[in-house]
Amino acid sequence: MTALLICGGHLIDPAAGVDGLKDILLKDGRVAEIASPGKLKKANGAAGPEVQIIDATGLTLAPGLVDIHVHLREPGQGYKETIATGTAAAAAGGFTSVAAMPNTRPVNDSPEITRWMQSPERGASIRVFPIAAATRGSKGETINDYAALKSAGAVAVTDDGSPILKDNIMRETLAAAARVGLSVIQHAEDTRLTQGASMNAGPVAFKLGLRGMPPEAESGIVERDIRLVTELRDARAHLHVAHTSTAAALAAVRQARRSGLRVTCEVAPHHFLLTEDHVGFYNTNAKMNPPLRSAADRDAMIEAILDGVVDAIATDHAPHAIHEKEVEFEHAPNGITGLETALGLSLRWLQNEWKMPLGRVLSLLSAQPAALLGLKGRGTLAVGSYADVVIFDPKAEWTYLTRDTESKSRNTPFDGWTMQGKVRWTISEGRIAYDSAS
Amino acid sequence: MNPAATPARRSIHPPSAPASPFPYNPGSLLSASDLGLDEISHILTRAAALENQDPLTRARILAKRRVALLFYESSTRTRTSFELAAKALGADTTLVSSLSSSIEKGETLKDTGLTLRALGAEAIILRHNSSGAAWLLEAETRLPVLNAGDGMHEHPTQALLDLRTILAHLRQGVEKMTAETLAGVTVSIVGDILHSRVARSNMLLLPRLGAQVILCGPKELLPEIAAHAGPGISIERNFEAALRQSQAVMMLRIQAERLAGLQLDLEQYKANYQLTGQRLASQAPEAIVLHPGPIIRGLEVTAGVADGVQSVILDQVRNGVAIRMAVVERALLKGHQEGGRA
């Protein structure tokens, strides 16, 4: 295997505590060596015809980004996205690992589908970690065989999109997952309170004549789940709250953490940037679940990110075909794409506007989500780790245009938005997965 | 990290929502709030002029122009009056309804709109059961779109004809609108506010002319947030108290088709909110009574009130034709003259 020598760049590896000019040698899919600029060229094995050199002068190097919440739509909905196109979009966005949700057709509730998704024939540009369904068909009734799913490669279980409402099933899910060391991810939505609803409940929904999802539909389930984790304290059950969108849900997570429970949460860029006002006049690219919330909720997301309560930024990348979104708002499917805009928006807003240190922003996009799902050797560039690297120009401002997307779909409210930090190369396990010049 | 730390308030300035690109076509009428005072005055003036014009002269204004009526919901008043209005101006009209067209076969609103445009429609009058449908149709076709009711959202021509009715009875039919035209007038809108597009359009329109709007109804049909829909809107749960303050009372039908599982005790509802002759005589003996129709006699109003001297319900229907002539004329002349934005 060819080796890659990246020289002249500024390496930021929050997990390893590195922040400085470093050269880095990647070999056999792993990080082989890190040294001060110029040192590696003379060292053994770092020169010669098999070594490809990448000049990263003026650029920043960081562990490849990790998105623990994406919908790659395969199997079954290849017209929206395939594993190949979704991971190409991920690579363009600087991601080297994505965790794929199981709401595929059929639902990924088996070791066979879990393996199928990871097969080289899918043509993934970067590493895909399947998240398996918690229950058979995600129907919330029968628990799947977590040991078998884990050995097939599943990194967590969830019934994302079809939240587990029954207390006893959720308790059993948490306990069974804890026994095999898997996390349980919950899309917290009490669907009994959201029937027929297509945006956040509140004055905007009233004005638009749309039925609303009350914030309690989210926080109520988070509170219920935390009660169950408390009961299962001795089992060390891990609950991860997906795409947190309400101040009340964050408050519950904050409280649970204070009590020493294994409760983590993620926030999507659209939930820390946008509010229900961005729905405008029925913009279906501002329709997702959980919906864009009130300004107070959005501000609570920002506060919680800055305060460290939020463990990860995850995109909830949810591609839909154009024709599916060109319909009446209440009939449009939920979800927006996000893999290509997460880094640019995070740097533009969290770092630039709200002065979060770059290392912490990157940690939320790599080290923390990798640790959260136990993805060993990811989210860091310590020697011996996977050679997953994102190389970007941290100061470059650019405009995101969906017409240039690698994804099959274009459903995003961020078309035309100014981004900061342009990805130059993304390297996945030592191979160049994305090169902005080609 | 210290999760126990109390979050300190930082000065954060998040991105603001973009300005609305609607309406794309200057001839469109999507929302009652699209219209400035000048435009409202113009529509009222044209409604009066067209109403009084010689029918043969009037029929030359839009002679052989093509107007499509696209109706996804049943309608008597709105459909007929739009059709009569367009025909009175000489336009050719065609009616497409969801039950006798390719909509039944699964054709989307976008494709139906593009098809009508290709057939030569110069404006589309849309009644649809989904909120926001008129915005979608306008964005896709860029034609003048007249919103004839979208889901639970708006029904701007109804608000305009209600305004004309109120002006005729309370302001001698004045046509020039200012922010004080309806100063001192309180209009109560009573009943199923939550599901009513008539209520939404009226509560956006009337306060801009100086009126106070009181919303009145039970919590299930009138959430507290309704008071935040705009300025000049307040909530009064007590029907008698609302009536006592009102110069105009607009009664609404309970929209059984939109209740979505909501259980209502109708006897209780009638006890609290039915407009009876006795209530009207004791609390608002001078007020005019409006109703957008269809009326469910014996539920929100008694037959005696619907047919009584204070009722202006049939005036509303007549005003509907006049207002819609003005709005259809505006759609084709304005939409044509300035052209739709690309």
Chain B contact set for A211 (CB, 8 A): 260
Of B10, B130, B152, the CB nearest to A331: B130
pLDDT band at B257 (very low <50, low <70, confident <90, very high): confident
pLDDT digits (tens, 9 = 90+) for B225-248: 999 999 999 999 999 999 999 999
Of A202, A273, A295, the CB nearest to B225: A202
Tell me what pLDDT residue A9 has.
Answer: 97
Residues A18, A246: Cα–Cα separation, whole Å: 34
Report the candidate in A201, A340, A177, A344 with the shortest Cα–Cα distance to residue A262.
A177
Of A203, A208, A275, the CB nearest to B228: A203
B259–chain A Cβ distance below 8 A for any pair: no
Residues 170-199 of B with CB under 8 A from A: 194, 197
- Looking at chain A, the whole-number percentage of residues with pLDDT higher than 70 is 98
Chain B contact set for A353 (CB, 8 A): 12-13
Tell me what pLDDT residue B178 has.
Answer: 97
Chain B contact set for A293 (CB, 8 A): none
Residues B224, B235: Cα–Cα separation, whole Å: 8
Decide: A17 and A35 in contact? Cβ < 8 Å.
no
- Say whether pLDDT at B342 is over 70: no
Q: CA of A124 to nearest chain B CA: how many angstroms apart? A: 34
Q: What is the pLDDT averaged over residues B179-194? A: 97
Tell me what pLDDT residue B4 has.
Answer: 42
B33–chain A Cβ distance below 8 A for any pair: no
Hey, where are the domains in chain A? 3-61+386-435, 64-372
Name the strands in the sheet holding B248-251, side by side, starting at the edge strand that comes first in the sequence: B233-235, B212-216, B186-190, B248-251, B288-290
Chain A contact set for B33 (CB, 8 A): none
Chain A contact set for B260 (CB, 8 A): 195-196, 211
B257–chain A Cβ distance below 8 A for any pair: no
Chain B contact set for A326 (CB, 8 A): 108, 110, 136, 140
Residues 208-227 of A with CB under 8 A from B: 208-211
Please check whether the domain covering A64-372 is classified as CATH 3.20.20.140: yes
Q: CA of A417 to nearest chain B CA: how many angstroms apart? A: 10
Per-residue DSSP letter, A352: I
| Contact across the interface for A281 and B225, Cβ inside 8 Å | no
| Contact across the interface for A303 and B7, Cβ inside 8 Å | yes
Chain A contact set for B140 (CB, 8 A): 326
Which tokens is A150 given? 């884990």
Query: Could you give the residue range(s) of every CATH 3.40.50.1370 domain in chain B?
Result: 32-155+320-335, 156-317
- Say whether pLDDT at B3 is over 60: no
Residue B62 exposure: Cα atoms within 13 Å on the Cβ side: 29
| Strands annotated E in B151-207 | 186-190
Closest-CA residue of A relative to B23 is: A281
Residues A147, A74: Cα–Cα separation, whole Å: 23
Q: Which CATH number is associated with domain B156-317?
A: 3.40.50.1370
| Contact across the interface for A281 and B132, Cβ inside 8 Å | yes
Chain A contact set for B150 (CB, 8 A): 209
Query: Annotated catalytic residue: which of A23, A160, A190, A316?
Result: A316
Chain A contact set for B132 (CB, 8 A): 208-210, 281-282, 328-330
Residue A316 known to be catalytic: yes
pLDDT band at B341 (very low <50, low <70, confident <90, very high): very low
Closest-CA residue of A relative to B136 is: A328
Per-residue DSSP letter, A225: H
| Contact across the interface for B130 and A328, Cβ inside 8 Å | yes
Tell me what pLDDT residue B6 has.
Answer: 45
Please check whether the domain covering B32-155+320-335 is classified as CATH 3.90.1140.10: no
**Are A3-61+386-435 and A64-372 equal in CATH topology?**
no
Backbone φ and ψ of B143, nearest 5°? -85, 165
In a mutational test of the A interface, the residue from B128, B136, B262 whose CB has the highest number of chain A CBs within 10 Å is B136
| Contact across the interface for A307 and B5, Cβ inside 8 Å | yes
Q: How far is CA A308 from the centre of its chain?
A: 17
Report the candidate in B320, B330, B331, B273 with the shortest Cα–Cα distance to residue B301.
B273
Residues A139, A142, A144: CA angle, nearest 5 degrees: 100
| Contact across the interface for B110 and A327, Cβ inside 8 Å | yes
Name residues of chain A where pLDDT drops below 50: none
Q: What is the pLDDT averaged over residues B53-80? A: 96
Q: CA of A299 to nearest chain B CA: how many angstroms apart? A: 8
Tell me what pLDDT residue A44 has.
Answer: 53
pLDDT digits (tens, 9 = 90+) for A96-144: 999 999 999 999 999 999 999 999 999 999 999 999 999 999 999 999 9
- Classify the phi-psi angles of A118: left when phi > 0, otherwise alpha if psi is within -120 to 50, otherwise beta: alpha
Of A254, A302, A327, the CB nearest to B108: A327
Q: Which CATH superfamily is domain A3-61+386-435 in?
A: Urease, subunit C, domain 1 (2.30.40.10)
Of A202, A273, A282, the CB nearest to B15: A273
Which tokens is A121 given? 């024939």
Residues 248-307 of A with CB under 8 A from B: 254, 257-258, 273-275, 277-278, 280-282, 295, 298-299, 302-304, 306-307
Tell me what pLDDT residue B91 has.
Answer: 98
Q: How many CB pairs under 8 A join A and B?
A: 110
- Whole-model pTM above 0.80? yes
Tell me what pLDDT residue B299 has.
Answer: 95
CB count within 10 Å of CB A252 equals 26
Decide: B130 and B151 in contact? Cβ < 8 Å.
yes
**Distance between the two ends of chain B, CA-based, in angstroms?**
52
Residues 20-39 of A with CB under 8 A from B: none
